Amino acid sequence: MVCRACDDPPCAKVCPTGALNPREGGGVRLDITRCTGCGNCRDACIMGCVFWDDEINKPMICIHCGYCAKYCPHGVLRLETSKEGDYV
Ligand code: SF4
Ligand code: SF4
Ligand code: SF4
């Protein structure tokens, strides 16, 4: 399960503290210092792509680094550049 970099991310809409904000090019950025660990974003993600760090009780949010795509042996994952020049 990989974040789909939503243009209008539902996970950010339900964040009560402004910790999760839409990112240019799609997806979201997490400011972990503002996160209370409420879990709203996990429940709201349409793809089930917000995983949870039980040790610190915070979400793990994809940063679209593309590292995973390099290791997919079947070509299922690919990092593409959007029109805006950001990664999606
Ligand atoms: S867990 Fe953190 S990032 Fe997610 S909705 Fe709650 S405060 Fe926002
Ligand atoms: S975490 Fe889920 S809802 Fe949020 S941008 Fe990624 S796929 Fe969309
Ligand atoms: S390796 Fe990078 S692109 Fe892949 S899921 Fe993790 S943070 Fe997202």
Q: What type of residue is 78? A: R
Pocket test for ligand 3, best of 23, 29, 51, 68 (most atoms within 8 A of CB): 68
Q: Which domains does the chain have, with CATH numbers?
A: 10-70 (3.30.70.20)
Measure the CA angle with vertex 85, ends 20 and 16; round to 5°: 10
Q: What ranges make up the beta strands (E) of the chain?
A: 20-22, 28-30, 51-53, 58-60
pLDDT band at 88 (very low <50, low <70, confident <90, very high): very low
List pLDDT tens digits, range 50-69: 999 999 999 999 998 999 99
pLDDT exceeds cutoff 60 at 4: yes
What is the overall mean pLDDT for the chain? 91
Rounded mean pLDDT of 69-86?
80
Residues with CB under 6 A from ligand 1: 14-15, 17, 19-20, 30, 35-41, 59
Ligand closest to the CA atom of residue 65 = 3
Q: Where is pLDDT greater, at 58 or 26? A: 58
3-state secondary structure of 40: helix
Threshold 0.85, pTM exceeds: yes
Which H or E element spans position 13? helix 10-13
Indicate which residue's Cα is closest to atom 6 of ligand 1: 38
CB 16 within 8 A of CB 8: no
